[in-house]
Amino acid sequence: MFIVQDYSLAIVCCFITMLCWGSWANTQKLVTGKWRFELFYWDYVIGILVFSIVAALTLGSWGSSGRSFLDDLAQASSSNIGSAFLGGIIFNLANILLTAAIAIAGMSVAFPVGIGIALVLGVIINYLGVAKGDPALLFGGVGLVMLAIILNAVAYKKAAGSTSKATTKGILLSITAGVLMSFFYRFIAVAMDLNNFVNPEPLKMTPYTAFVVFAVGIFASNFIFNTVMMKKPLEGSPVSYKDYFSGKFPLHLVGILGGAIWGTGNLLNLLAAGKAGPAVSYGLGQGATLVAAIWGVLVWKEFRHAKGKVTGLLLGMFACFIVGLILIIVSGA
């Protein structure tokens, strides 16, 4: 089983997580106008599930270190399996709202507001669970991230117009998604033995097994959450499962790729949590907010009509995010 053995490698894994979590939404942007986000989201969820199983049967089972996936799953307690499964349900509800916010307001708004809030609350929740890292530096970095969120929300309001219904709906969806998103990681962390991935405590799970159970929770709950979204969409007319199965293969493939990209980041983040601690690992991974904002601003031109004041707010947002993330890294060293 592949295991992260030192803090430096854990930070590298967290940076890859940041890139993956901040970039998967580009796959949604690629099919915008061709494929409704509710239909895209089914493929995204399937991509996460398939990737988790493949990773567990390969990297999570090869070699002599740790318990192999099937052995680990067989010995895990029902409470730990239930905790990781519940984490998947919470994540799915949060992420489907975030995906809707991306469709309405764009990446450069939905991510900084939604995932920024998830970062702030998630770091606090995970630090209370496992107090790893210098609290002054850790929460100083979190404070700067919170300031970046505020600057981004103000910039979006100025660029879109304060009376825009899409502005209000996009920000409200992002806030709701962020609050829910802050809780999911703790449920996965509780199910694992964060102190020893090589010889995990009996009844606990390795990151690979916990990820598979988490992914099953996402997939199972999607039959409820996404079915509701399909029948009562936040934007546009209802869609059906017939619409999904009539979609062209390349459109399905894009969504599955998006799920695999997010899944890669999630697995590396769970592996890094053993050495960096869940608060630092989660907080740094959610620096995806910065990556997504860069995609939204520079590639998708979501602020192309912005004027001088808005540009200044965006630069301030990026600066606060960068310094905040540096403090989070240093806090765990």
The pLDDT tens digits of the residues spanning 86-118 come to: 999 999 999 999 888 888 877 777 777 888 888
N residues, the chain: 333
Task: Determine the Cα–Cα distance for residues 41 and 212; give it in Å rounded to an integer.
Answer: 18
Cross-strand partners of 205? 192
**Quick one: average pLDDT of 306-310?**
76
| Band (70; pLDDT cuts 50, 70, 90) | very high
**Quick one: average pLDDT of 205-215?**
97
> Tens of pLDDT along 5-38?
899 999 999 999 999 998 998 998 899 889 999 9
Asked if 180 and 93 touch (Cβ cutoff 8 Å), the reply is: yes
Question: How much of the chain exceeds pLDDT 90, in percent?
Answer: 56
Lowest average pLDDT, out of 43-57, 59-73, 78-92, 145-159, goes to 145-159
3-state secondary structure of 205: strand
**Quick one: average pLDDT of 254-270?**
96
Torsions phi, psi for 192 (to 5 deg): -110, 160
Lowest average pLDDT, out of 74-78, 190-194, 239-243, 298-302, goes to 298-302
For residue 57, pLDDT over 90 is answered with yes
More confident residue, 333 or 39: 39
**Quick one: average pLDDT of 227-246?**
94
Alpha helices in the chain (DSSP H): 7-23, 25-31, 37-57, 69-75, 78-105, 107-110, 116-129, 135-160, 165-190, 207-231, 241-245, 249-276, 278-285, 288-294, 308-332
Q: How far apart are the first and last CA of the chain?
A: 25
pLDDT of 166 reads 60
**Quick one: average pLDDT of 53-79?**
93
Task: Determine the Cα–Cα distance for residues 240 and 254; give it in Å rounded to an integer.
Answer: 19
Task: Determine the Cα–Cα distance for residues 192 and 207; give it in Å rounded to an integer.
Answer: 7
For residue 162, pLDDT over 60 is answered with no
pLDDT of 160 reads 64
| Band (216; pLDDT cuts 50, 70, 90) | very high
Tokens describing residue 259: 């799920």
For residue 207, CA distances in Å to 99, 146, 196, 292, 312 come to 25, 29, 11, 26, 41
| Band (163; pLDDT cuts 50, 70, 90) | very low
Task: Determine the Cα–Cα distance for residues 304 and 216; give it in Å rounded to an integer.
Answer: 40
Please indicate, yes or no, whether the overall pTM of this predicted structure exceeds 0.85. yes
Q: Which of 248-262, 289-303, 310-324 has the highest mean pLDDT?
A: 248-262
Tokens describing residue 250: 């390349």
pLDDT of 288 reads 80
- Candidates 185, 199, 324, 326; CA nearest to 267 is 185
